[in-house]
Amino acid sequence: MEDIVRKDLVIVGGGPAGLAAALYASRSLLDAVTLEQEAVGGQVILTNEVDNYPAVPHTDGYSLVEAMRQQAEDLGASIVMERVSDISVDSKATSFRVTTSDGAYDARTVILAGGATPRRAGFEGEERFAGHGVSYCATCDGMFYRGKRVFVVGGGNSACEEALFLTRFASEVILIVRKDHLRAQASVARQIEENPKVSVRYQTSIASVDGGELLSSVTFKDTSTGAMHTERSDEGSFGIFVFVGRVPASSLVQKLADLDETGHVITDERMATRTPGLFAAGDVRSKFLRQIVTAASDGAVAATSVAAYLGQPVEG
């Protein structure tokens, strides 16, 4: 029979929310483990520039979360690379079974800090060319488009910021925006307007892409008239970056927690869900502002709530 590891707390996800929860759990002397499926740091490692984390005037995402990881581990946090595939609760609701790629944990409490993954734009050919001309990460793939044209799909903050970042490599950056305006913060939108390498095609979406191994054509749709037109160029001479929002990693708790209409986990201000002992923190949670600073804050609150729930002394 498989070995079951017993813990006070299992934290699912090693992004800013999970790392802050791990830090606060360590300080409350909880026997906790943080499980990360892919790369410690979460979505933040996808971004090259972070300018809005208090007391850190300008940094890249990787350096910021690496400092978070180091600080949590220095305080005793245990971070393990395992993918959580299931979370269930026993009939008396006193213990959670957390099943992972490598085994299972019995946990008195769980904090879901699984964040979110990029949403697909939904055009024909998107899956086929993902990683072969269609990208969701400018920091990872921007350098492959040195001197080339790139289309950036989306009109929010992430799309605009990543479009600006891509001007370092691309000869030309064209924002593809469904609406007739940008949804980015005013200061970011102004940088888009003022950058000579960036242009915006409003009321436009991508209907389909095609090519051989790499992209060679893209068909655009005018969202106001429905008219289509196709642009062709040499295979591999351009790329498409998609930044149209993110899908919350809430499926693990869909039977244990209430979700809002966009699939985010509903919590109270202590990060508690409707199942006692189950908490959620960070981008996976239903809330107004999804940023590093609010994810870290959620993680701190969630771990402190766990400590209180387990009858441990709490910070503050």
Binding stretches for ligand FAD (CB under 6 A): 12-18, 35-38, 42-44, 46-47, 50, 52, 83-84, 113-116, 158, 162, 249, 252, 282-283, 290-293, 295
Identify each DSSP E strand in 119-224 by its residue range.
134-135, 149-153, 172-176, 198-201, 204-211, 215-222
Kindly report the number of other CB atoms within 10 A of residue 166's CB atom. Answer: 23
Positions marked active-site: 137, 140-141
Q: Could you tell me the smallest distance in angstroms from the CB atom of residue 46 to ligand FAD?
A: 5
Tokens 């804050």 found at: 297
| Nearer Cβ to ligand FAD (35/278) | 35
Closest CA to 301 of 288, 285, 262: 285
Distances (CA, A) of 139 to 92, 192, 200: 46, 18, 21
Q: Could you tell me the smallest distance in angstroms from the CB atom of residue 34 to ligand FAD?
A: 9
SS percent in the chain: helix, strand, coil, step 5: 25, 30, 40
Task: For residue 231, report the phi and psi dihedrals to the nearest 5 degrees.
Answer: -115, 130
Tokens 């790369």 found at: 39
| Nearer Cβ to ligand FAD (166/209) | 166
Per-residue DSSP letter, 212: S
| Nearer Cβ to ligand FAD (50/306) | 50
Rounded Cα gap, residues 82 and 39, in angstroms: 10
Q: Could you tell me the smallest distance in angstroms from the CB atom of residue 191 to ligand FAD?
A: 14
Distances (CA, A) of 146 to 61, 142, 171, 172, 196: 22, 7, 7, 10, 17
Q: Could you tell me the smallest distance in angstroms from the CB atom of residue 47 to ligand FAD?
A: 4
Q: Could you tell me the smallest distance in angstroms from the CB atom of residue 218 to ligand FAD?
A: 22
Strands 96-100 and 84-89: antiparallel
| Nearer Cβ to ligand FAD (19/209) | 19
Sequence-separated (6 or more) residues with CB below 8 Å from residue 71: 23
Nearest residue to ligand FAD by CB is 115
| Nearer Cβ to ligand FAD (126/235) | 126
| Nearer Cβ to ligand FAD (35/200) | 35
Rounded Cα gap, residues 172 and 221, in angstroms: 20
Q: Could you tell me the smallest distance in angstroms from the CB atom of residue 224 to ligand FAD?
A: 28
- Per the structure block, which two tokens stand in for 127? 């899956």
